[in-house]
Structure 1
Amino acid sequence: MPVDPTLAGRTFPPTAAYTVTEERVREFAAATGSSYDGGAAPATFPIVVAFGAMTGLMEDPEVGIALHRVVHGEQRFSYTRPVVVGDELTAELTVDTLRQIGGADIIGTRSEITDADGKPVCTAFATLVHRGPSDDNDDTGGEA
């Protein structure tokens, strides 16, 4: 069943605050093969906070997204300022676009990432592809 088209334009509550620590930035850099010299966090670090917002969208029972049917199609960031150790960040996700193509929902999201003072840090844009059910009974993990 397709995701309800009225999802487009909906904004979800902000995520819980995420404290950026030296340890978290170093772990992220090591896991992603990024460099980190103690200054600004790697350019893709805000995905940590944005992913929390995307998870909130996908876990909302009113939305109707089955997590096992989601493919992350695209990710990009637009910065106001770099992320640094000591930041307390939250993300507020808005569904910008929703269209159905070939039985799949193409969901365009925008997560506004702000600091503890509510000032903008980064905007994370993502495209999620939610494939529709097929005849192979994959909702239960079984075979056709």
Structure 2
Amino acid sequence: MTTTIPSAQGEVTVGDVLRTSRTYTVDEVREFQRLSGYPDNPQPRFLPYLLVVAPLTKLGGDIDYLSGRMTWSVRRPVAVGEEITAELEITRLEPVEGATKIGFEARIRCGDEVVVTGTSKGLVLGEHA
């Protein structure tokens, strides 16, 4: 029997890849800086790291993911106005009492170039299968 879990993109199982894309404007970056207490930069060149990985948290929210451990590697900064595509590739689903253990590989792409990679393990609460 194949283990599946629900997501905002439909049922997913090991090997499936969830994706979402996003492009941040200068105004959005400036608003993030203002809300975060960063000094104002009228023409920010690069995205703050938290905005780069934010689409991954959106995908995690789509599957009600609770993180246990994450590792990340950043290959280069992402420029304001560059489209980023976040991908979560499900590598493990293991039912346990009241939850499903999950593991995935994560990537942030700018076009064909992978600019952030990572792995994460955690839980999806609720009975699934």
Quickly name the TM-score band, shorter chain normalised. 0.5 to 0.7
Unaligned 5+ segments in structure 2 are: 6-11
Using the size of structure 2 for normalisation, the TM-score is 0.66
Structure-2 residue corresponding to 1:94: 89
Q: Deviations over 1:70-94 (max 9, x none)?
A: 4343444311111220211112220
8 A Cα contact 1:11 1:92, kept in partner = no
| 2:16 is aligned with 1:11 | yes
The farther-off stretch of 106-115 and 27-36 is 27-36
| TM-aligned CA deviation for residue 36 of structure 1 | 7.2
Percent of aligned pairs sharing the same letter: 26
What secondary structure is seen at the aligned counterpart in 2 of 1:92?
Answer: strand
| More strand per residue | 2
8 A Cα contact 2:17 2:88, kept in partner = yes
Structure-1 residue corresponding to 2:117: 123
8 A Cα contact 2:22 2:55, kept in partner = yes
What secondary structure is seen at the aligned counterpart in 2 of 1:121?
Answer: strand
Change (3 A) 1:74 1:34: farther
Distance 1:22 1:41 in 2: 9
| TM-aligned CA deviation for residue 13 of structure 1 | 5.1
Structure-2 residue corresponding to 1:112: 107
Matches within 5 A, 1:1-144: 3-4=3-4, 7-8=13-14, 10-12=15-17, 14-15=19-20, 17-33=21-37, 37=41, 38-56=44-62, 58=63, 67=64, 70-116=65-111, 118-132=112-126
Unaligned 5+ segments in structure 1 are: 59-66, 134-144
